[in-house]
A and B are shown apart, each in its own frame.
Chain A
Amino acid sequence: MSAGTTFLQDRFERKARTINALLIRELMARFGHRNIGFLWQVLEPLLLTLGVMISWSTVYGERNHGVRVIPLVLTGYTFITVWRHMNSRFLHAFRHGSGLLFHRQVRPADILVARGLLESVGTLIAFFVAYLPLRLLDVIEPVDDYLLLLSGWSLLCLFSFGVAMILSALAHFSDAFERVIQPIMYLILPLTGAFYMVYWLPPSARQIVMWSPLVNASEMFRAGYFGAEVPTTWNWPYLAIWTIAVNAVGWLLVLKAQRHIELE
């Protein structure tokens, strides 16, 4: 019994150390030691969000369809950033990370976990780095419900992680897939729900977009931000089932790809 516990503990600790090391390596590999280094991880999405915030504010004024524009952009771009970054980062993860596989402890899946963590946490930091000063200057309203906001965010990150795993494995097996996936990702942007609120749509369109798990996540994220002031609809069990499903499929595919790599 105790031997079993220590064995598990040992494994867990080793895994944590590996992923931690990969996380830091990823940070350094991407941004280097020069100038502000890894803070680019935060600054990149921040710049995008601020830019869009300014341009949308000039186009729509303070409110768009009765929803404040600045928080709308802040939530929307935070949302879209994690989804797009995770997918594009994972696409070449196996090829870029192949050098690491000389280390006996590093498995391809570990690289994905490290990258996923980095994207999720980095983007959330960017969100708060934008949120706090705007809040202190009283430009935006406070977050209404952190539980909803962060649950929506966590589910979004896990869902994106699952989808990104599937994409990375498929990209490993098929070069053609790797080519077509970028335009496809671009085309399904409307299905992410980042640029609109569901209640703006006519009822028939609402039913269609609510099939998209990402729309559920974005509505949940915004429900957490705006509270009852803005009407939102979401179905978290539906989103959770999707998340579990894509993660299960993703893990299977990644394990398969992993074996394929190790055989080479």
Chain B
Amino acid sequence: MALPRRGGLFQWMSRHYALTVFVAVFIFPTLLASIYFGLVASDCYVSETQFVVRSAQKSSAEGAAAYLQDIGINRANDDAYAVQDYIISRDAMHAISATIDLRKVWSPAGADFISRYGAGPFNNDNDEMLYRHYKSRVKVEKNLETGITTVRVTAYRASDAHAVAMKIVQLSEAKVNAMNNRARADRLAAARREAASAALQLSQANVALTRYRDSAGLVLPEATAEADVRQKSMLEAERTRIDAELAGMVARAPGNPAIPALRRRLGALNREIAAQSAKLTGNGDALSGKVSGYEQQLVERELTEKLYEAAIKQLDTAIDEANRQQIFIEQITDPNLPDTPVEPRRLRYMFTVALLSFWAFLSIYLLLSGGREHLNMS
């Protein structure tokens, strides 16, 4: 073997590599774990609380389907994830720190030097380190099947664990309320904006109508037109009557002195009728044009009225929905005040290390044997 001579130990280890690996990978870690979990590790208390995030949702379905769905209170999945993420956030940690000194909670006097906060030579005391520690001490788990979220807080004193868990419950509730208010305000603001713009349109339409009337010099163009038409037909009737009278007179007594007078009257009537017609239907300033313009304005106003009504209705439903569509936290179990430390689970962790290191030993042994055989080293 072309290995450098480094005393007998290296050669001995190479020759007895199975034993060496066994001791280094299995015996040594298992022994260390046994000493730590058996003798050194401090007791920890765990306070646990469970809740469900629910939302009362108004269904958009109508009729019987709505009746069936309307009572449904659904689990709000996304919101539950939001709450879960909030609990494990720097925000939440800072909010807890405002009333509870987390540094003291996780590094009290007498806590063992491995698990406590700030242990080890490279751990500086800053918020980022505290946050890392926080994540290891506060565990949030959401069950996929039931939707129940479980929060576990670990601390060296039962009262501390309980206090932090209580605070977390409070904060989650405050967060959910804030989310509700925000969503509500957003929804209402949008509906109000819509209603305000509809109202503005309506008043603009009204103003436009009035202005049109003013410019046309008419209060009610239709009524004016009707009166004008009636007058015109009266004039036409008069003309027909005079026309007939004149024709009769000319036939019976052509020398009647009343004839020229009648003729003058007929001429005047014709002029009056022509003027009246021009007023009603002629081009330029005629009344028919004014009426059609006026009707257009009327339709526009009606349209904006409808829009306004719809916007007001929407605002009503938005207020209604905002009151109903809220998420809320339903507490299933309140944080408990533990009377026995359950962490660390000493035997369990020892077994974990033993089993893990045993499989690690088998794996490394196999790789080493294979490698040595591959290199013809046995």
Residues of A within 8 A of B (CB): 20, 23-24, 27-28, 33, 37-39, 41, 66-67, 117-118, 120-122, 124-125, 128, 145-147, 150-151, 153-154, 199, 227-231
16 residue pairs A–B, Cβ–Cβ below 8 Å: A23-B369, A24-B378, A27-B366, A27-B369, A33-B374, A41-B370, A117-B362, A117-B366, A124-B359, A125-B366, A145-B352, A146-B355, A153-B359, A227-B141, A229-B142, A229-B144
* Closest Cβ–Cβ distance, residue A181 to chain B (whole Å): 28
**Interface of chain B residues 326 through 369 with chain A (CB within 8 A):** 348, 351-352, 355-356, 359, 362-363, 366-367, 369
Q: What A residues does B355 contact at CB under 8 A?
A: 146-147, 150-151, 154
* Closest Cβ–Cβ distance, residue B366 to chain A (whole Å): 5
By beta carbon, the residue of chain A nearest B146 is A231
Q: What A residues does B214 contact at CB under 8 A?
A: none
* Closest Cβ–Cβ distance, residue A224 to chain B (whole Å): 10
* Number of residues on chain B facing chain A (CB within 8 A): 23
**5 smallest A-B Cβ distances: which pairs?**
A38-B370, A147-B352, A231-B145, A150-B355, A228-B141
By beta carbon, the residue of chain A nearest B372 is A24
Number of cross-chain contacts by CB at 8 Å: 70
Do the beta carbons of B374 and A228 come within 8 Å of each other?
no
**Interface of chain B residues 172 through 195 with chain A (CB within 8 A):** none
B150 within 8 A of A: yes
Do the beta carbons of A125 and B144 come within 8 Å of each other?
no
Given contacts A24-B373, A228-B141, A231-B143, contact A118 B356 (CB under 8 A): no
A154 to B362, CA, bound (A): 12
Do the beta carbons of A121 and B142 come within 8 Å of each other?
no
* Closest Cβ–Cβ distance, residue B112 to chain A (whole Å): 21
Q: Which of B145, B366, B378 contacts A199 (CB 8 A)?
A: B145
A38 to B145, CA, bound (A): 43
Do the beta carbons of A37 and B374 come within 8 Å of each other?
yes
Do the beta carbons of A146 and B144 come within 8 Å of each other?
no
A145 to B142, CA, bound (A): 17
Do the beta carbons of B352 and A27 come within 8 Å of each other?
no
Do the beta carbons of A229 and B367 come within 8 Å of each other?
no
A227 to B152, CA, bound (A): 14
A167 to B356, CA, bound (A): 30
By beta carbon, the residue of chain A nearest B369 is A24
Residues of B within 8 A of A (CB): 18, 141-146, 150, 348, 351-352, 355-356, 359, 362-363, 366-367, 369-370, 373-374, 378
A37 to B150, CA, bound (A): 49
By beta carbon, the residue of chain B nearest A199 is B145
Do the beta carbons of B143 and A20 come within 8 Å of each other?
no
A153 to B378, CA, bound (A): 31
Do the beta carbons of A118 and B366 come within 8 Å of each other?
yes
Do the beta carbons of A146 and B352 come within 8 Å of each other?
yes
By beta carbon, the residue of chain A nearest B143 is A231
Q: What A residues does B362 contact at CB under 8 A?
A: 117, 120-121, 124
Q: What B residues does A41 contact at CB under 8 A?
A: 370
Do the beta carbons of B141 and A27 come within 8 Å of each other?
no
Q: What B residues does A38 contact at CB under 8 A?
A: 370, 373-374
By beta carbon, the residue of chain A nearest B360 is A128
Q: Which of B142, B144, B351, B363 contacts A124 (CB 8 A)?
A: B363
Do the beta carbons of B348 and A147 come within 8 Å of each other?
yes
Q: What A residues does B359 contact at CB under 8 A?
A: 121, 124, 150, 153-154
Q: What B residues does A117 contact at CB under 8 A?
A: 362, 366
Q: What A residues does B363 contact at CB under 8 A?
A: 121, 124-125, 128
By beta carbon, the residue of chain A nearest B370 is A38
Given contacts A125-B367, A229-B141, contact A147 B351 (CB under 8 A): yes
Q: What B residues does A27 contact at CB under 8 A?
A: 366, 369-370, 373
* Closest Cβ–Cβ distance, residue B137 to chain A (whole Å): 16
Q: What A residues does B143 contact at CB under 8 A?
A: 228-229, 231
Q: What A residues does B367 contact at CB under 8 A?
A: 125
Q: Which of B352, B370, B378 contacts A39 (CB 8 A)?
A: B370
Q: What A residues does B366 contact at CB under 8 A?
A: 23, 27, 117-118, 121-122, 125
By beta carbon, the residue of chain A nearest B356 is A146
* Closest Cβ–Cβ distance, residue A179 to chain B (whole Å): 33
A66 to B378, CA, bound (A): 50
* Closest Cβ–Cβ distance, residue B248 to chain A (whole Å): 101
* Closest Cβ–Cβ distance, residue B9 to chain A (whole Å): 23
Q: What A residues does B18 contact at CB under 8 A?
A: 20
By beta carbon, the residue of chain B nearest A153 is B359
Given contacts A146-B352, A151-B355, A231-B144, 9 further A-B contacts (CB under 8 A): A23-B366, A24-B378, A33-B374, A121-B359, A121-B366, A125-B363, A150-B359, A228-B150, A230-B144
